[in-house]
Structure 1
Amino acid sequence: MRLLYVLLFLQLSLIVVAIPSDRANLFNGKKTTEPEPLKKNEQPYPKAKVQKSEDHKNAGTPSADAKSAGEITEQPVRSPQPTDTDQKERKLLSSQTDEGGIIFSDDVRQCILNEHNMYRRRIAKGEVPHMPAATIMNELMWSDKIAEKAREWANKCEMAHTPQGYYCGLDGYDNIGENLATRTTSADGLNSDEKLKDAFKWALNSWFDEYKNYKFITRTCSKVCGHFTQMVRDSTEKVGCGIAMCSGGVKGFRPGIPSYLIVCNYGPGNNFANQPPYETDASKACPQVRPTRKDYLCTGNGKKGPEKCEDKTNFCSTWKEQGKCKMCNNPYYQWMIGVCPKTCGIC
């Protein structure tokens, strides 16, 4: 019997927003006034904002309600060994949890990582039609911590994004990007590593294919393109994905019909509206965190933070006492780590 399948995608970047100097908008929409020291002695906050969901069809970044279809297959390329702060013993074969989430084998995890870096390398090499070449594209590494959270969310078998702030602080990042994909399948549709690989290749290919909807020069979308911009965000350092086999269906998609739900998270997400997803200036050097250029990507394990670990103002200690170095639920964080990296413990 022919299997009927439907494609559906959701994508969200969870970000702490950099704000203008005359006011601040919190993640949850609450407003707070900027402190006097910032007004009188420092440059304005950069004007970046989160794209509203109702604008996703014409926006350069994804929305919480973006829906679409389509995605990848290309030969995997060599990727560095994944690193994480806590290395865990991995299984030779993937296995399913009681909730439906699947714990990857090394082979599946490496396939997901290779596929991500293959697409990023294509962008860096200038191989994608109508897309300029990226010049400081980070090579992604795998994060077990991020992947574990992705699997936990996939276990819920619901086509919905995580609440705002859900990932803040995860693996040391103040913002995590999130891509979702779901598809109907047979009851045994994920019972082998090869089927798991195929599921992820389908999802990643669909997300990347949204480049056709993105205009780099104007930073706008003709249709949904946020999954693509998240996949090729050059400053992203790590990725972690999860998948669940939902025998009772995915809520908000096809309840009652066996389906799988894929969640891929990116740290940091940095998928800001009205900003290009990657740098195109050939004079730029690779960032400290990925200091070595190899096969068009920036790789290696360097240090985070600025080259010189020094504050740019004498107000940093005062602002830290006021809680402005706090990572989560703090509209000043992104600006503070640029102005007060030493005081805020960034370097």
Structure 2
Amino acid sequence: MKYFPKTFFMLATLTATQSQQVANNYCDRQLCPQGGPHVACNGLTRPAASCGPDAREMPMDESKRSLIVDLHNRLRSKVATGKQSNGSGTLYPEASRMATLQWDAELAGIAAANARRCVFGHDRCRNTISFPYAGQNIAQRSYQGVAITDDDLMEQFINDWFSEATVANRNFIAKYPSRYSGPDIGHFTQIVSDRTTRVGCSLVNYRQGRWNVQYFVCNYALTNMINQPVYVSGKACSRCTTGCNAEYPGLCSTREAISAKP
């Protein structure tokens, strides 16, 4: 089995503002101030022919969406309440205003435009009007023989992203590094970004020679922003203006209005 997780690092803080008139015209260059093309500009509506005849896009039904959102929020809650440590045993600080992550159909549709290409790699632009600084985590598994279920695979991918908590530290939480060359941390920081309010994902299964391949793409409302906090530390939920989430301790209620912009 071959397993390839990857991470996406912002090279510079984005500063462009977006016009509300762009709507869903993903070919409008205003959506991609750092350069395009936008992955959903004339994007694929089904797996590409190069994916092969056996390619299958997994439907993101309610149970799949709930699994992804629930796991993200349980991991966010663990960090927000100060119960997650790094590899040296140092606890990460509590988060004073970490949003409860919710599903976003538009982000999921744009993630699908990437996954349907069956080419492992980050797209250059995935922004929307609501989320002009969208982030992305990707992962791929190649295997022969017995497959694991799609649900188990997605859970494995998300937990593997989060496992980068062991190599990150509190300094990275206080300010995302601008010149970092160590082990991957960007999947973890993406998952626990306090201003990330929405997520949308896609999974495509296809064959590549003798290998079965499962390619998973998740897009987020806000990417890792260089020299900005991943989350603001403080007593858990202390800055939430609409109260705390009873299901996910330490996170703000789903009514909390948090801007997904720098």
TM-score, normalised via structure 2 length: 0.72
Which of residues 104, 119, 141 in structure 2 aligns to 1:183? Answer: 141
Q: Which amino acid aligns with 2:95?
A: A
| Residue in 2 that maps onto 1:234 | 194
Deviation at 1:187, TM superposition (A): 7.2
Q: 1:177 to 1:13 in 2, by over 3 A?
A: farther
How much is the aligned-residue C-alpha RMSD, in angstroms? 2.8
| Residue in 1 that maps onto 2:217 | 263
| Residue in 1 that maps onto 2:34 | 27
Q: Is the deviation greater in 238-247 or in 102-111?
A: 102-111
The aligned runs of 1:6-155 (5 Å cut-off) are 6-12=2-8, 17-18=14-15, 27-28=34-35, 99-129=55-85, 130=90, 131-155=92-116
Cα deviation code 1:87-126 (max 9, x no counterpart): xxxxxxxxxx975221123212211111000100000111
Give yes or no for contact 1:139–1:237 (8 Å, CA) kept in 2: yes
Q: Quote the sequence identity (%).
A: 24
Q: Which amino acid aligns with 1:9?
A: P
Secondary structure at the aligned position of 2:244 is classed as strand
Q: 1:247 to 1:188 in 2, by over 3 A?
A: farther
Matched, 1:286 2:240: yes
Equivalents in 2 of 1:104, 1:185: separation in Å? 22
Equivalents in 2 of 1:179, 1:268: separation in Å? 12
| Residue in 2 that maps onto 1:310 | none
Give yes or no for contact 2:99–2:254 (8 Å, CA) kept in 1: no
Cα deviation code 1:207-226 (max 9, x no counterpart): 10001111222555641111
| Residue in 1 that maps onto 2:183 | 223
Equivalents in 1 of 2:256, 2:239: separation in Å? 13
Secondary structure at the aligned position of 2:70 is classed as helix
Equivalents in 2 of 1:187, 1:176: separation in Å? 36
Secondary structure at the aligned position of 1:7 is classed as strand
Give yes or no for contact 1:100–1:155 (8 Å, CA) kept in 2: no
Give yes or no for contact 2:202–2:217 (8 Å, CA) kept in 1: yes
Q: Is the deviation greater in 129-138 or in 204-213?
A: 129-138
Give yes or no for contact 2:100–2:253 (8 Å, CA) kept in 1: yes
Equivalents in 2 of 1:10, 1:140: separation in Å? 22
Q: Per chain length, whose mean CA-contact separation is higher, i.e. which structure has more relative contact order (CA < 8 Å, sep 6+)?
A: 2
Q: 1:16 to 1:136 in 2, by over 3 A?
A: same
Give yes or no for contact 2:54–2:206 (8 Å, CA) kept in 1: no
Deviation at 1:247, TM superposition (A): 1.4
Deviation at 1:280, TM superposition (A): 0.5
Q: Which amino acid aligns with 1:244?
A: V
Give yes or no for contact 1:102–1:244 (8 Å, CA) kept in 2: yes
Deviation at 1:196, TM superposition (A): 1.3
Which of residues 128, 131, 147 in structure 2 aligns to 1:173? Answer: 131
Deviation at 1:143, TM superposition (A): 0.8
Cα deviation code 1:179-209 (max 9, x no counterpart): 000011347736xxxx111101110111100
Give yes or no for contact 1:10–1:179 (8 Å, CA) kept in 2: yes
Equivalents in 1 of 2:258, 2:140: separation in Å? 35
Deviation at 1:16, TM superposition (A): 5.8
TM-score, normalised via structure 1 length: 0.55
Cα deviation code 1:41-62 (max 9, x no counterpart): xxxxxxxxxxxxxxxxxxxxxx
| Residue in 2 that maps onto 1:85 | none
Secondary structure at the aligned position of 1:208 is classed as helix
Larger gyration radius, structure 1 or structure 2: 1
Equivalents in 1 of 2:254, 2:69: separation in Å? 15
Deviation at 1:161, TM superposition (A): 0.8
Equivalents in 1 of 2:7, 2:243: separation in Å? 30
Q: 1:303 to 1:225 in 2, by over 3 A?
A: closer
Q: Which runs of 5+ in 1 are unaligned?
A: 20-25, 29-96, 249-254, 306-333, 336-347
Q: Which runs of 5+ in 2 are unaligned?
A: 17-32, 36-52
Cα deviation code 1:301-328 (max 9, x no counterpart): 35566xxxxxxxxxxxxxxxxxxxxxxx
| Residue in 2 that maps onto 1:273 | 226
